[in-house]
Chain A
Amino acid sequence: MTNAYIYDAVRTPRGKGRADGSLHEITALSLAAQTLQAIRDRNGLDTVLVDDVILGCVMPVGEQGSDIARIATLVAGYDEQVPGVQINRFCASGLEACNMAAAKVASGEARFAIGGGVESMSRVALAADGGAMMVDPTFAFDHYYAPQGIGADMLATIYGFSRDDVDAYAVESQRRAAMAWADGRFVRSVVPVLDQAGVVILDHDEHMRPQTDAQSLGKLKPAFAKMGEAGYDAAARARYPQMGPITHVHHGGNSSGIVDGASAVLIGSKDAGEAAGLKPRARILGTASIGSEPTIMLTGPEFVTRKLLARLGMSVSDIDLYELNEAFAAVVLRYQQALEIDPDKLNVNGGAIAMGHPLGATGGMILGTALDELERTGKESALVNLCVGAGMGTAMAIARV
Chain B
Amino acid sequence: MQNITMEVDGHGVALVTLDVPGKPINVISQSVQQDLDLFVERLRTDPEIRGTIVRSGKTGGLCAGADLGEMLDDIARWREAESQDDLRAAVAEAGGYSQRIRAIETCGKPVAVIVHGQALGGGLELALAGHYRVAVDDATLRLALPEASIGLMPGAGATQRLIRMIGINAALPYLLDGTPLTLSDALAGGVVHAAATDGPQALKTARQWILTSGDPVAPWDVKGFKLPGGGSHSPAAYQFFGPAMAARLAEADQSPGIGNILKAVYEGAQVPIDAGLRIETRYFFNTARSPDAKAKIDAFFARRSTRNKATA
Interface flags for B226-250 (1: CB within 8 Å of A; 0: not) read 0000001100011001111111111
CB distance from A8 to the nearest CB of B (A): 40
CB distance from A154 to the nearest CB of B (A): 13
| Closest chain A residue to B241, Cβ basis | A135
Q: How far is the CB of B230 from chain A (nearest CB, A)?
A: 11
**Chain B positions within 8 Å of A237 at CB level:** 250
Of the candidates A134, A142, A231, A239, which one forms a contact with B259 in the assembled complex, judged by CB atoms under 8 Å apart?
Answer: A142
User: Does B40 make an interface contact (CB < 8 A)?
Assistant: no
Contact check: which of A127, A130, A141, A239 meets B245 at CB < 8 Å? A141
Contact status of A234 and B246, CB under 8 A, knowing A135-B266, A137-B262, A141-B262: yes
For B232, give its contact among A135, A230, A235 (CB under 8 Å).
A135
Q: Is the CB of A238 within 8 A of B249?
A: yes
Is chain B's binding surface mostly helix, strand, loop or mixed? Answer: helix
Select A136's contact among B243, B246, B249, B266, beta carbons within 8 Å.
B266
Q: Is B79 an interface residue (CB 8 A)?
A: no
Expressed in whole angstroms, the minimum distance between the Cβ of A273 and any Cβ of chain B is 46
Cβ < 8 Å to B, chain A residues 228-258? 230-232, 234-235, 237-239
Residue on A nearest B233 in the bound complex, by CB: A130
Task: Pick from B233, B243, B258, B265: contact of A227, CB below 8 A.
Answer: B243
CB neighbours (8 Å) of B259 from chain A are 137, 141-142
When distances are taken between beta carbons in the complex, the residues of chain A under 8 Å from B266 are 135-137
Count of chain B residues with a beta carbon within 8 Å of a chain A beta carbon: 21
- Partner pick for B250 among A130, A135, A142, A234, CB 8 A cutoff: A234
Contact with A along B246-261 (1 / 0, CB 8 A): 1111100000001100
Rounded to whole Å, the gap between the CB of A140 and the closest CB of chain B is 6
Q: Is B193 an interface residue (CB 8 A)?
A: no
A237 vs B248: C-alpha distance in the bound complex, in angstroms? Answer: 11
- Cα distance A137–B241 in the bound complex, in angstroms: 10
Known: A141-B262, A237-B250. A231 touches B233 (CB 8 A): no
Is B250 a contact partner of A134 (Cβ separation < 8 A)? Answer: no
A155 interface residue (CB < 8 Å to B): no
Q: Mark B215-230, 1 if CB is under 8 A from A, else 0.
A: 0000000000000000
Q: Mark A135-154, 1 if CB is under 8 A from B, else 0.
A: 11110111011100000000
Q: How many A-B contacts are there with CB distance less than 8 Å?
A: 66
Measured in the bound complex, the distance between the Cα atoms of B286 and A138 in whole Å is 13
Residues of the B chain whose Cβ atoms lie less than 8 Å from the Cβ of A141 = 245, 248-249, 258-259, 262-263
The digit string for A12-55, where 1 denotes a CB below 8 A from any CB of B, is: 00000000000000000000000000000000000000000000
In Å, the complex CA distance between A140 and B259 comes to 10
- A126 CB to nearest chain B CB (Å): 11
Determine if A127 and B262 form an interchain contact, defined as CB atoms under 8 angstroms apart.
no
Question: Which chain A residue lies CB-closest to B245?
Answer: A141
Q: Is the CB of A231 within 8 A of B244?
A: yes
- Chain B residues lying within 8 Å of A144, measured Cβ to Cβ, are 246, 249
Contact residues in A for B244 (Cβ distance below 8 Å):
231
Docked-complex contact B245 and A231, CB < 8 angstroms: yes
CB nearest to B252 among chain A residues: A238
Residues of chain B contacted by A134 (CB below 8 angstroms): 238, 242
Q: How far is the CA of A137 from the CA of B248 in the complex (A)?
A: 11
Q: A135-B232, A137-B259, A137-B266 are in contact. Are A145 and B246 (CB under 8 A)?
A: yes
Does the CB pair B242–A140 fall under 8 Å? yes
Other-chain contact of A146, B246, B258, B262, B263 (Cβ < 8 Å) = B246
Q: In residues 118-142 of chain A, which contact B (Cβ within 8 Å)?
A: 127, 130, 134-138, 140-142
CB atoms of A137 and B245 under 8 A apart: yes
CA A91 to CA B234, docked complex, whole Å: 23
Tell me whether A140 and B245 are in contact in the complex, defined as CB-CB below 8 angstroms, given that A127-B238, A135-B266 are known contacts.
Answer: yes
Q: B243–A231 contact, CB under 8 A?
A: yes
Q: Give Cα A228 to B96, complex, Å.
A: 41
CA distance A56 to B309 in the complex (A): 67
B292 to chain A, nearest CB (A): 13
Q: Which residues of A contact B263 (CB under 8 A)?
A: 136-138, 141
Smallest Cβ-Cβ distance to B247: which chain A residue: A231
Contacting residue for A231 out of B232, B246, B258, B265, CB 8 A? B246
**How far, in angstroms, from A138 to B279 measured CA to CA in the complex?**
13
Determine the chain A residues whose CB is within 8 A of the CB of B238 once the complex forms: 127, 130, 134-135
> Which of chain B's residues have a CB closer than 8 A to the CB of A234?
246-250
B185 → chain A closest CB, angstroms: 22
Q: Which of B245, B249, B250 has the most CB of A within 10 A?
A: B249
In the bound assembly, the distance between CA atoms of A135 and B169 in angstroms comes to 12
- Nearest A-chain residue to B259, judged by Cβ: A141
Contact with A along B100-117 (1 / 0, CB 8 A): 000000000000000000
Closest Cβ–Cβ distance, residue A227 to chain B (whole Å): 7
Which residues of chain B come closer than 8 Å to A135, judged between CB atoms?
232-233, 237-238, 241-242, 245, 266
Instruction: List B contacts of A140 (CB < 8 A).
Output: 242, 245-246
Interface centre among A140, A141, A227 (most CB of B within 10 A): A141
Q: A135-B232, A135-B266, A141-B262 are in contact. Are A238 and B242 (CB under 8 A)?
A: no
Instruction: Tell me which residues across on chain A come within 8 A of B267, comparing CB atoms.
Output: 136
Residues of B within 8 A of A230 (CB): 243, 246-247
Interface string of A109-123 (1 = CB under 8 A from B): 000000000000000
Report the minimum CB–CB distance from A386 to chain B (whole Å).
24
Structural contact, A232 and B233, CB atoms closer than 8 A: no
A127 to B241, CA, bound (A): 15
Contact A232–B243 (Cβ < 8 Å)? yes
Considering the chains assembled together, what is the distance between the CA atoms of A145 and B262 in angstroms? 14
Given contacts A135-B241, A141-B245, A231-B248, 16 further A-B contacts (CB under 8 A): A136-B232, A136-B263, A137-B265, A137-B266, A138-B263, A141-B249, A141-B258, A145-B242, A145-B246, A230-B247, A231-B244, A231-B245, A231-B247, A234-B246, A237-B250, A239-B249
Measured CB to CB, the residues of A under 8 A from B are 127, 130, 134-138, 140-142, 144-146, 227, 230-232, 234-235, 237-239
Among all A-B residue pairs, the 9 with the closest Cβ atoms: A231-B247, A234-B250, A231-B243, A137-B262, A235-B246, A230-B243, A231-B246, A238-B249, A235-B249
21 pairs, CB–CB < 8 Å, chain A vs chain B = A130-B238, A135-B237, A135-B238, A135-B241, A136-B263, A137-B265, A140-B245, A141-B248, A141-B263, A145-B246, A146-B246, A231-B246, A232-B243, A234-B248, A234-B250, A235-B246, A235-B247, A235-B249, A235-B250, A238-B249, A239-B249
